[in-house]
Structure 1
Amino acid sequence: MADRPTRAPGPYRALLGSRVRAQFSYRASFAADVLANVGTGLSEFATIYVVFSRTDELGGLDVWQAALVFALANVAFSIADLVVGHVDTLPTLVRTGALDAFLLRPLPVLAQLATSDVALRRVGRVLVAALVFAVAWPRAGVEFDGRAVALLVVAVLGGAAIFSAVFVVAGSLQFWLLDGREAVNSITYGGSNAAQYPASLYSGPLRWLFCYVVPAAFVAYLPVLVLLGEPGPAGLPAWLGWCSPVAAALLWVVALLLWRGGVRHYTGSGS
């Protein structure tokens, strides 16, 4: 079956509204989930801070410049995780046959999956990233002007689109893999982890992988190089920091083709 378009946003608003209201109905549980995500974000930043604070410069960046990379990468990933992260439940839906119900509705399967849950707890990582950004910006030696604001907007929106496409690519592969959730998590969460560090730390092949195959370098590292006025390592010119929307568009073409092929490949649970 092919994914079918719809022109009515009403069903999505109703689904999203019901999910949000349900989470706020259990405030203590919601607060605990948010705090857990805050703790995860803080532990990840602590790792980066410990590594970079032990030296004056690593990969061409000092500790606060690396903190900017971490902050941008986490904001972009958290937005994507909030919007389409629920696609990673696809293996369970395929295994239980619940995906068949999605195929019977007059709505695109991908849109249904994306709106089947809204994990607002993931805003905890956004809060950590925003705090790190606020602390790191004045210490990183970057001037706050119109050009910087424009670049930040491009980087956040482009980065979120890149990670969203990565989630869809990973979900699409589940139609062909048998219980391959852990394998594809290496693409989504592995890409997120790679984006938090300067790509200059990686060897040549890995650098090309995280730029031109899984474009994690476009999310934060390259935009930060533009902000700092640095040229970038071999094979990664800094001007690519403005090109994250282009990288996202190309990746989305691949993601949607894979998704369409996966939906057509799916033959149902047989129940």
Structure 2
Amino acid sequence: MADGIALRARLRPYAVVLASRARSQTSYRANFALDLVSSLLSGLVELAEVWVLFHAVTRLGGLDFGQILLVFGMADLAFSLANMLFGHCDRLPTYLRAGTLDIFYLRPQPLLLQLVTSDISLRRLSRAAVGLVALVAGLAAGDITWNVGTVALLVISLVSGIATFAAMFVWAGGLQFFLVEGEEMTNAFVYGGRYAATQPASVWSRPLKVVFGYFFPMAFTGFLPAVVLLDLPAPAWLPAWLGWCGPLAALWAWAMALLCWRWGVRHYRGGGG
């Protein structure tokens, strides 16, 4: 009981900050509505790319349109929620250039936890809604045998996918301590990884399977769980049993992200102001 009270007391400042950020975003309703619409349109455009692609082909990497929707929905929903919670880590290069990151050091809380809880992008909820609709449509269209294991795999894969994408944002943030104007390079792996995750990994070349299948474990966020759910043949280098290994992929991503973050923080010497 005492430990629970102490934990709530330690987390309360972060909750207060997040609540204030949420209130500030919703206080101007018209502006917030426009933000939601723009985020929704962004998600719809990316979903439309899949729809347009299947006007040229009937199957891609052994998957039809309904099966691709399942892959897209799982990966896009996980990315959108991770982006809402961790996407503002992209602002770290701005803090570094302006020297304002040093303000975080004046507070008696961990630097990474302060950065993660410094904002929350509610407008990305509409983007997540696109992924959710695609996921539901893919589940309805797929020939899935529903049982306890299927539901467990779906839940585990979604939670692991959110954790994996969140780790990618932290990983990219840690690299900013070493790079000059390096946002575009890290975004190529974070947002490029998100795009790769929404596509069938069966069409990837071997180098891409190594990079986005294992090093940046994007295949674990959508494609591999979908292979198990739909009982599809697995491609070379990505056996079907890996579909159950989403938590291991998330642990790997977070281990590398925290290592990179710690390395970067130890390298940082201040804004010089």
Distance in 1, Cα, partners of 2:244 & 2:103:
41
Unaligned segments of structure 2, at least 5 residues:
1-5
User: Paired residue for 2:59, among 57, 72, 75?
Assistant: 57
Paired residue for 2:14? Answer: 12
Paired residue for 2:260? Answer: 258
Paired residue for 2:145? Answer: 143
**Are 1:169 and 1:259, in contact at CA under 8 Å, matched by a contact in 2?**
yes
Worse-matched range after superposition: 35-44 or 53-62: 53-62
1:131 partner letter: V
**Are 2:177 and 2:264, in contact at CA under 8 Å, matched by a contact in 1?**
yes
Q: Cα offset for 1:52?
A: 2.5
Instruction: Give the 5 Å matches for 1:196-211.
Output: 196-211=198-213
Paired residue for 2:41? Answer: 39
Paired residue for 1:220? Answer: 222
SS of match in other structure, 2:144: coil
TM-score with structure 2 length normalisation? 0.94
Distance in 1, Cα, partners of 2:236 & 2:24:
50
Identical amino acids, percent of aligned pairs: 48
Distance in 2, Cα, partners of 1:259 & 1:118:
20
2:174 partner letter: S
Worse-matched range after superposition: 46-55 or 17-26: 46-55
SS of match in other structure, 1:61: coil
Q: Cα offset for 1:257?
A: 1.1
1:236 partner letter: L
> CA offsets, 1:160-202, max 9 Å, x none?
1111111111000000001111111111101101000001111
Paired residue for 2:3? Answer: none
Distance in 1, Cα, partners of 2:101 & 2:199:
37
**Are 1:53 and 1:63, in contact at CA under 8 Å, matched by a contact in 2?**
no
> CA offsets, 1:181-229, max 9 Å, x none?
1111111101101000001111111112111111000000000000011
TM-score with structure 1 length normalisation? 0.95
SS of match in other structure, 2:123: helix
Paired residue for 1:181? Answer: 183
SS of match in other structure, 2:112: helix
Paired residue for 1:3? Answer: none
Q: Is 2:111 aligned against 1:109?
A: yes
2:256 partner letter: V
1:198 partner letter: P
**Are 2:172 and 2:186, in contact at CA under 8 Å, matched by a contact in 1?**
yes
> CA offsets, 1:104-138, max 9 Å, x none?
21111111111111110011111111112222322
Q: Is 2:71 aligned against 1:69?
A: yes
Instruction: Kindly tell me the number of residue pairs found equivalent between the two proteins.
Output: 266
Paired residue for 1:236? Answer: 238
Q: Is 2:197 aligned against 1:195?
A: yes
**Are 2:70 and 2:137, in contact at CA under 8 Å, matched by a contact in 1?**
no
Paired residue for 2:86? Answer: 84
Q: Cα offset for 1:146?
A: 2.3
1:215 partner letter: P
4+ long deviations beyond 6 Å:
none
SS of match in other structure, 1:120: coil
User: Paired residue for 1:247, among 240, 246, 249?
Assistant: 249
1:169 partner letter: W
